[in-house]
A = this chain, B = another copy of it.
Amino acid sequence: MQPRLSLITLGVDDVAASIAFYERLGFKASSDSTADVAFFDAGGVVLAVFGRAALAQDANRVVSSAAGFSGVTLAHNVATEKDVDTVLAEAVAAGATLAKPAAKTSWGGYAGYFADPDGHLWEVAHNPFWSFDNAGRIILPGVSP
């Protein structure tokens, strides 16, 4: 696993209001943002906002569970589907819990989740619509040079 945090997703109550807030702060949403999710270039890392309940569901969690859902997930993006499987296996071998087995996603990618020892959720994802720059950072459509 490369030591890289690729994307931070914030679960929010009102995606449109959240997009408006971050745009007011100076963040620019990428051109593939939708009414349901937005991606901002956050300088070496991608910041995303997504419905809180939808994010919990995507991570195989329930918002109202006793253990609680923090409203934040971390993401590690990789270049191939095989890399997703490899990284998830490495994480489990290192002490993580497999929170959601890797599978094809509704958006055309391939991803799974592991939970670190404190329950922080990391999505390991292959997004065939995104590529990386020479530094390994995600190239966001409409934002990255």
CA distance A136 to B18 in the complex (A): 25
Q: Assuming the A-B contacts A28-B3, A40-B3, are A21 and B94 also in contact, with contact meaning beta carbons closer than 8 angstroms in the complex? A: yes
Contact check: which of B2, B12, B43, B52 meets A137 at CB < 8 Å?
B43
A45 to B25, CA, bound (A): 19
Whether the Cβ atoms of A26 and B43 lie closer than 8 Å is no
B118 with A25: CB separation less than 8 A: no
Report A78 CB to chain B, min CB distance, Å: 12
* Inter-chain contact A90/B5, CB cutoff 8 Å: no
Q: Is A10 an interface residue (CB 8 A)?
A: yes
Nearest 8 A-B pairs (CB), nearest first?
A44-B44, A4-B43, A70-B70, A45-B45, A5-B42, A24-B94, A3-B27, A72-B72
